[in-house]
A and B are shown apart, each in its own frame.
Chain A
Amino acid sequence: MTDTGAPVPRRGRAWRTGLALRLRRLGWSLVLLLGAAAGAALATVWLTSTSLIVLGAGIPLTLLATVLVRWFADLHRGWAADRLGEPVDRSYLELPRSGWPSRSWTVLRDPASWRDWAWLVVNSITIWFTGGLSLVLFLLGVTALIYPVIYELTPPQVFRTPLGEGFRLDSVQKSFALVPIGAVLLALWYATSGPLTRLNALVMRSLLGPTEQVRLRARVAHLAATRAENIDTQASELRRIERDLHDGAQARLVSLGMSLGLAKQMLDHDPQAVQRMLSDAQTVTADALTELRDLVRGIHPPVLADRGLDGALRALALANPIKTTVVTDLPGRLPAPVESAAYFAVSEALSNAIKHAGASLVRIEVEFTPRSDVAGELVMRVTDDGRGGADVDAGNGLRGVARRLAAFDGTLTVHSPSGGPTEIRMSLPCASS
């Protein structure tokens, strides 16, 4: 369905795929043209239904017509999204569960309903300047190109004045004059097919996609939700660190101090006991250090500070019991919060593969791509050859990662058919420094 085919190196083949692509678009133009006619009828039905609401009978009619309109609009949204390479979101108000009248009221006061209607009307006209124009150029071009054949095959009364009364054909030789015109028209069709298709998709997006206001409202809601989650996560992280320090390293230092104090007291009369206490003190110190080390790793791994994301992921792969390959394509150091989020996301995906997938090979790919709206996007892919069946909602780990990434407008998708392989794809918009 998508318009953007892979680039083909050979010229002849490129031309053939180009032609096939344009012929496919021509088919779509025909479908959309018929659709636009049906859409105009639908617009009339919908408006009539709404005007009957005052009579009561219009309520179920409106709801029915709205379902039809929205289904129809969704089909076009899908088509436009395929052409434009990015989703065209629907932005209707949520319908209340209670009663048909209140539902009809919601439909009526939803600007998106009226924009759908406006699109149905507008589309029935604009389609002629996009898909229609393309179709007409093609048909006229083909007709002109084969005009000598038409001349030969038809009786002398018809197809003799292709350009009006002023130009009457009286021999097949003269009809060859139309062939170059046909070629020009077809060339025009060939050249404008892409832009006209895109123009049509843009018209659809402008009326069927969300308005700036709706988009911003959704964005604010998203930001508020992720901010609240972020604050929650941070607070509970701090609580966990506080508890770990209090029960762990702090307690061990207290016990160390006590052992040393006791040892000092006993130095004169029981040197053997002192010897024992000192070696105990050493053990306690070692334990405290181990605990602190683990805690620090959980807060911010030192190797991440030293070497950035690339080095830290390599270190992670080396420490991993399963064979793990790391491929990175990064422009340099990324901002610290991004590095940290990316590191913990990959590390969680990795431990997911180790714990649940029964994998024997894991591959980590991290790639930074510059983007026009933000400085760039970091895409991380963790794939394993395990048994598959991973699910974001099944375990806490991946859901936590998805939540943390959402705070950066990042995403996490899992592709894990039963039987494997599993691919966890995470993205993180960011600026490179």
Chain B
Amino acid sequence: MRLVIAEDLALLREGLIRIFEANGFEVLDAVDNGPDLLRALTTLRPDIAVVDVRLPPTFTDEGLRAAIAARKEIPGLPVMVLSQYVEQLYARELVADRAGAVGYLLKDRVMVVDQFVTDVRKVAAGGTVMDPEVVSALVNRRSADLRTLSPKETEVLSLMAQGRSNAAIATRMLVTEKTVSKHTFNIFTKLRLDQSDDDNRRVLAVLAYLEA
């Protein structure tokens, strides 16, 4: 899998390169600023980009903006955004184009390497992965549609938003996979998502959740 990394701190950049190379990724380029990132994304067209939100030259949300700009040019370009802090505002902006293939995680999550690499692969495959912190803050404020969900269904949806598969959700909730798919079916019905292919509906359900 071909990958571009954007991280301005050399220590963390080297760490990320090491992790991805050890897990069979091909690191095409590792840049340390916003303009270089945009150039690398549009010319190299990697299978996935791992991007730090804060980058030079402005040391604000340069990385986030570059990622969103690149996805405007190449719709659905898979991007995993990493940050020292998460904001729901940014999560919304990332999912706003409804193309899927986005991830938004705290940098802390890199420490659990297996899970992190799995999440990156999931995003590369078109999935949506949101940090548990983004998701947990959303549990309290729910729109009218989401309020019709049962507590179990809400739990399934929040795990879905974190990018978990039905199998992983089943293990986590100590239920059978069949129960989980029953829950997901109910979620799709209650959120009025039509019978399209399951992956797309999962993305839409997560979007409904994030936009609540």
Contact = CB atoms under 8 A, between A and B. Distances in A.
A296 interface: yes
A73 B197 CA distance: 81
Nearest to A281: B111
A109 B141 CA distance: 64
A293 interface: yes
Contacts of B140: 321
Interface string B57-73: 00111000000000000
Contacts of A285: 108, 111
A286 B111 CA distance: 8
Interface stretch (A81-89, A305-313, A417-425): A305-313
Interface in A262-308: 282, 285-286, 289-290, 293, 296-297, 302-303, 305-307
Contact of A282 (B85, B87, B92, B111): B111
A306 B60 contact: yes
Contacts of A293: 84-85
A151 to B, nearest CB: 79
A322 B140 CA distance: 8
B154 interface: no
A315 B90 CA distance: 8
A178 B106 CA distance: 88
Nearest to A322: B141
A316 to B, nearest CB: 9
A302 B54 contact: yes
B89 interface: yes
Given A282-B111, A320-B141, A315 B60 contact: no
Contacts of B84: 289, 293, 296, 302
A319 interface: yes
A305 B137 contact: no
B85 A314 contact: no
Interface string A308-352: 000100110011111100000000000000000000000000000
A319 B137 contact: yes
A324 to B, nearest CB: 9
A293 B90 CA distance: 17
B112 interface: yes
Interface in B97-119: 106-108, 111-112
Contacts of B88: 315, 318-319
Contacts of A306: 53-54, 60-61
Interface in B67-87: 84-85, 87
A297 B53 CA distance: 16
Contact of A318 (B59, B85, B89, B106): B89
B60 A323 contact: no
Interface in B129-170: 137, 140-141
Nearest to B111: A282
Contact of B89 (A289, A297, A303): A303
B91 to A, nearest CB: 9
Contacts of B85: 293, 296-297, 302-303
A289 B108 contact: yes
Nearest to A314: B89
Contacts of B111: 282, 285-286
A318 B112 contact: no
A319 B141 CA distance: 9
A299 to B, nearest CB: 12
Nearest to A305: B60
Nearest to B58: A306
Contacts of A318: 87-89, 92
Nearest to A324: B141
B54 A321 contact: no
Contact of B112 (A282, A311, A321, A323): A282
A42 B60 CA distance: 67
Interface in B20-51: none
Contact of B141 (A302, A311, A321): A321
Contact of B87 (A286, A315, A320, A322): A315
A286 B61 CA distance: 23
Contacts of A319: 87-88, 137
A317 B46 CA distance: 35
A320 B137 CA distance: 8
Contacts of A290: 108
A327 to B, nearest CB: 16
B108 A286 contact: yes
A241 B90 CA distance: 27
Nearest to A290: B108
B112 A303 contact: no
A314 B106 CA distance: 20
B11 to A, nearest CB: 14
A33 B54 CA distance: 70
Nearest to A288: B108
Nearest to B92: A318
A303 B112 CA distance: 26
Interface in A94-137: none
B108 A307 contact: no
A159 to B, nearest CB: 80
Contacts of B54: 302, 306
A311 B108 contact: no
A297 B111 CA distance: 22
Interface of B: 53-54, 59-61, 84-85, 87-90, 92, 106-108, 111-112, 137, 140-141
16 contacts: A282-B111, A282-B112, A289-B108, A290-B108, A293-B84, A296-B84, A296-B85, A303-B87, A303-B90, A305-B59, A305-B60, A311-B89, A314-B89, A315-B88, A318-B87, A318-B88
Q: Which 7 A-B pairs have the closest CB atoms?
A: A306-B61, A315-B89, A321-B140, A306-B60, A318-B88, A315-B87, A289-B108
Given A303-B85, A315-B89, A318-B92, 11 more contacts: A285-B108, A285-B111, A286-B108, A289-B107, A289-B108, A296-B84, A306-B53, A306-B54, A307-B61, A315-B88, A321-B140
